[in-house]
Amino acid sequence: MKRVFSWKTAVVLSFGVLLSILTGIFVASESESLLPVGSVAPDFSATLSTGEEFRLRDYSGKKIVVLFFYPKDFTSGCTAQVCSFRDNYDDILHHEAMVVGVSYDTEETHQAFVEKHRLPFPLISDKDMSISRMYGTADRLGGLISGAKRATYVIDKEGIIRRVLHHEILIQKHVEGVLESLGEIEKGIGLKSR
């Protein structure tokens, strides 16, 4: 029996192609504001979800910093993202690195999020979006969508950005890219672009 495409099938397929193209354009434009690989990571100070004060410059020469931004605590994608870092935390520590997450949520929400998911790393409340603006993650779709872009920076011990990862949907790519980058840093391999 021959199958013939109906006009409905053609419309659905056309819509799918159009959606794929628009998604590609969206992701490309969203990545443009992120800081480039090879640049000096902007220094900042913030209070961690542990109550401790964090200054990026304090880790210069001591630790690689994995700084990741995400939209909102307790949402499905963000929970998957932070739990992915949690589940790979020992592998990250093995490379003399530390992990810090950043979102616009309050300190109280962060504490509940850390407790619920047993996160071994701290989170930063960036309510005024100052850190997100410094790192180019503040606006999603020109401010039409709330929350920071889902982006991860690997900052080496000299304060240089070694890897920038931006995956809004393929969340597992963040940790995969971080572990790859940490291995490259350990082996002395040069800078890697997005």
Query: Which residues are identified as catalytic?
Result: 78
Structure tokens at 10: 């053609």
HSE toward the beta carbon, residue 131, CA cutoff 13 A: 28
